[in-house]
């Protein structure tokens, strides 16, 4: 009889980790979730959920003990508002989490190790205009990420490469490009652009406001990838034999103003956009999916309109519930 594989997902109390638990459960894995907190919006499907702080090595050893695969998603992170103001905290917390987790995986002899890196590793000098060439994996060097968050992600990518070369750990590295969807942080300061815009539109719609505020001039660009595509990408990459970093994202670039227009259309209302000063991150960014298509024979499939419609619906419900309480 085939033995059920055991996997641990760190960051299982967070947005992507929580979804990944359910996704891997459906695939038949025994899943351990690890995080400093339980998922905020829905209970976990994990077989076991351990509340552990991975900045402690003994906790990382507990987290990875007896596991066949590790999906390392835990990170101290948030949207631009958070990332642009907490450099030392983010660098310290994420470096200790990642050093401990990969070393514990080596000690516990896990078979495979997935690391969630980010498009934030790409150099700022390639992202200074809103219209630009999509970013290829090899564009990462010479390195100049904008924030400590991106520097740490890049160093951990290199750490994973050396753990493979020196210790034979089977590592897989994905560079996520703006993942969004339901059951993600939507208020409180750590939310990212799609969730923040859905919340602002929902509040304006429900209170009859005619205007919504947007950080910056609205012409900054990004691509956005729906969570279900991200989960498929993670799994396909983990099952592949590809050890280099790989973009996981959509390659349709839109301005933040266009993102607001799509959400407004979904909500069935029209607003005046008020552009106010605020952290914006790099000026423009898009994913080049050439290597993704070649390697996994796949690319994200869910349209921005479809993904935002599902996300908006969930956030509007959250706003209504919060207002009732
Ligand atoms: P998230 O903030 O929702 O989840 C991260 C989880 O890590 C949180 O639940 C948090 O409590 C947990 N965590 C933080 N410190 C911890 C610690 N010391 N010990 C244990 N757990 C700890 O973020 P997410 O959007 O789900 O992102 C998952 C991963 O993907 C992260 O590594 C993130 O950097 C990366 N990523 C995400 C995106 C995106 O758009 N969502 C883009 C690029 C990269």
pLDDT tens digit sequence for 245-277: 999 999 999 999 999 999 999 999 998 999 999
Based on the domain organization, do 234 and 134 belong to the same domain? Answer: yes
Task: Indicate the pTM of the whole model.
Answer: 0.97
Q: How confident is the model at residue 110 (pLDDT cuts 50, 70, 90)?
A: very high
Based on the domain organization, do 127 and 269 belong to the same domain? Answer: no
CATH number assigned to the domain comprising residue 204: 3.90.25.10
Whether 156 is in a domain gets the answer yes
Alpha carbons 298 and 24: distance in angstroms, whole number:
19
Whether 294 is in a domain gets the answer no
Active-site residue 149, yes or no? yes
Of all protein residues, whose CA lies closest to atom 28 belonging to ligand 1? 73
Based on the domain organization, do 24 and 136 belong to the same domain? Answer: yes
Based on the domain organization, do 59 and 194 belong to the same domain? Answer: no
Based on the domain organization, do 152 and 210 belong to the same domain? Answer: no
- List residues near ligand 1 (CB under 6 A): 11, 13-17, 35-37, 53-55, 73-77, 93, 97, 116, 118, 176, 178-179, 185, 192
Whether 78 is in a domain gets the answer yes
Based on the domain organization, do 216 and 243 belong to the same domain? Answer: no
Domain that holds residue 311: 184-222+253-285+303-320
What is the position in ligand 1's atom list of the atom closest to the CA of 76?
Answer: 14
Domain count of the chain?
Answer: 2
Query: 13: CA distance to ligand 1 center in Å?
Result: 9
Query: 72: CA distance to ligand 1 center in Å?
Result: 9
Tokens representing 184 are 């993600």
Alpha carbons 124 and 43: distance in angstroms, whole number:
38
Query: 286: CA distance to ligand 1 center in Å?
Result: 21
As to burial, measured by CB atoms within 10 angstroms (0-12 exposed, 13-18 middle, 19+ buried), residue 282 is buried
CATH number assigned to the domain comprising residue 127: 3.40.50.720
Give residue 66's Cα distance to chain centre: 26
What is the position in ligand 1's atom list of the atom closest to the CA of 93?
Answer: 18
The torsion region of residue 285 among left (phi > 0), alpha (psi -120 to 50) and beta comes to beta
Of 74, 98, 227, best ligand 1 pocket probe by most atoms within 8 Å of the beta carbon? 74
Closest CA to 229 of 179, 292, 172, 169: 179
Tell the residue number behind the tokens 């973009």, with chain if given: 247
Of 9, 44, 75, best ligand 1 pocket probe by most atoms within 8 Å of the beta carbon? 75
Alpha carbons 251 and 229: distance in angstroms, whole number:
13
What integer pLDDT is reported at residue 96 of this predicted model?
98
Report pLDDT digits (tens) over 137-177: 999 999 999 999 999 999 999 999 999 999 999 999 999 99
Alpha carbons 299 and 232: distance in angstroms, whole number:
9
Based on the domain organization, do 217 and 168 belong to the same domain? Answer: no
Alpha carbons 157 and 244: distance in angstroms, whole number:
9
Per-residue buried b or exposed e for 28-42, using 16+ beta carbons within 10 Å of the residue's own CB: ebbbbbbbbeebeee
Does 325 have pLDDT greater than 80? no
Does 1 have pLDDT greater than 80? no
Report pLDDT digits (tens) over 111-122: 999 999 999 999
Of all protein residues, whose CA lies closest to atom 35 belonging to ligand 1? 116
């Amino acid at each position: 009889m085939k033995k059920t594989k055991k996997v641990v997902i760190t960051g299982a109390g967070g947005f992507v980790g929580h979804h990944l638990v359910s996704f891997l459960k459906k695939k038949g894995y025994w899943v351990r979730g690890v995080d400093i907190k339980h998922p905020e919006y829905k209970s976990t499907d994990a077989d076991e959920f351990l509340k552990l702080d991975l900045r402690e090595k003994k906790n990382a050893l507990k987290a990875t003990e007896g596991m066949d695969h590790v999906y390392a998603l835990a990170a101290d992170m948030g949207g631009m508002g958070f990332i642009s103001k907490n450099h030392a905290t983010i660098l310290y917390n994420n470096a200790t989490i990642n050093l401990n987790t990969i070393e514990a995986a080596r000690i516990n002899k896990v078979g495979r190790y997935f690391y969630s890196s980010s498009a934030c590793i790409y150099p700022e000098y390639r992202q200074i205009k809103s219209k630009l060439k999509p970013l290829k994996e090899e564009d990462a060097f010479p390195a100049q990420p904008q924030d400590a968050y991106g520097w740490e992600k890049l160093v951990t990518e290199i750490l994973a490469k050396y753990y493979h070369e020196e210790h034979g750990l089977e590592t897989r590295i994905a560079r996520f490009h703006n993942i969004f969807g339901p059951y993600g942080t939507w208020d409180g300061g750590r939310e990212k652009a799609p969730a923040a815009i859905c919340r602002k539109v929902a509040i304006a719609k429900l209170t009859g406001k005619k205007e919504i505020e947007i950080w910056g001039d609205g012409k900054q660009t990004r691509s956005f990838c729906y969570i279900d595509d991200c989960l498929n990408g993670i799994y396909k990459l983990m099952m592949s034999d590809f050890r280099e970093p790989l973009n996981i994202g959509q390659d349709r670039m839109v301005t933040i103003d266009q993102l607001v227009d799509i959400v407004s259309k979904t909500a069935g209302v029209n607003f005046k956009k008020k552009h106010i000063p605020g952290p914006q991150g790099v000026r423009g960014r898009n994913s080049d999916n050439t290597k993704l298509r070649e390697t996994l024979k796949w690319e994200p499939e869910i349209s921005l309109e479809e993904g935002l419609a599902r996300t908006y619906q969930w956030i509007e419900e959250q706003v209504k519930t919060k207002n009732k309480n």
